[in-house]
Amino acid sequence: MAFTVLIPARMASTRLPDKPLADIAGLPMVVRVARQASLSQAARVVVAADHPRIVAACEAHGVAAVLTRADHPTGSDRLAEACEQLGLDGDDMVVNVQGDEPLIAPTLINACAAELTARSECVMSTAAHPITDAAQFGNPNVVKVVLDAAGRALYFSRAPIPWWRDGPAPATPADGPGTPLRHIGIYGYRAGFLRRYPGLPVSPLEQVESLEQLRVLWHGERIAVHITPDAPGPGVDTPEDLARVRALLS
């Protein structure tokens, strides 16, 4: 199972300026993410950066990085350019690890790659875990996914899906087969599809939900979903998140 981990890193962040370079236990965050990813079975780990300062920080710590355009609308677009620069195409496998996930589990990266390897009919893979908390189920910032019988994504939504009609309370997740799943933002791609993705027309569902993976489903492609029992470690979106992760790693 040969695959490349690509880590998109964007300097601009409204809630946490210069986020990729935020210090976490003596290392820039993007470097810490790359080191976590290097503990997986990936053949190589490369940061796809939008700014020379990110590239310089990576190179200073022995992390491979490529400089991409600064005007990409999504992380997937940035990774498509990185694939071109690295000569990845066809069935070459790429796992997209977000640049603000310094606690990403290497086993989850491996599982995402293995899921795509096993599913030749899918152009992408991702991951999810069960939701048992009513507040998370109703939270629009928690993305939910529902699957078909073969474990492929049917739909992603910010709404509470599937809706348990006969549940004891409107916002209570179901147990058993109806248990809702929280989407985890890690993706495996076949590089040929990833390079084709920026040319696909934006879908109306993607615009309504603000979820770019819906473009893939809209155009009839399939996404395999690995189910893990555990929630991932906390990501970093805000100064409060950064303080939490610093405390965990101190």
Q: What's 183's domain CATH number?
A: 3.90.550.10
Domain extent, residue 201, equals: 4-249
Give 104-163 as a DSSP string: --HHHHHHHHHHHHH-TT-SEEEEEEE---HHHHH-TTS-EEEE-TTSBEEEEESS--S-
The one-letter code for the residue type at 172 is T
Q: What pLDDT, on the 0 to 100 scale, is given for residue 17?
A: 86
Structural tokens at position 76: 């997937």
The alpha-carbon radius of gyration of the chain (Å, integer) is 18
Looking at the chain, how many residues does it have?
250
**What is the total count of domains within the chain?**
1
Q: What pLDDT, on the 0 to 100 scale, is given for residue 199?
A: 94
The position carrying tokens 């993410």 is 33
Q: Which residues of 71-105 are buried (b: 16+ CB within 10 A; e: fewer)?
A: ebeebbbbbbbbbeebebeeebbbbbbbbbbbbbb
Provide the whole-model pTM: 0.93
Q: What pLDDT, on the 0 to 100 scale, is given for residue 234?
A: 86
Angle between helices 52-60 and 29-37 (to 10 degrees): 60
Please list the pLDDT of the chain residue by residue as tens digits (250 residues). 799 999 999 998 778 889 999 999 999 999 999 999 999 999 999 999 999 999 999 999 999 999 999 999 888 899 999 999 999 999 999 999 999 999 999 999 999 999 999 999 999 999 999 998 889 999 999 999 999 999 999 999 999 999 877 766 655 676 666 789 999 999 999 999 999 999 999 999 999 999 999 999 999 999 999 999 988 888 898 899 999 999 998 8
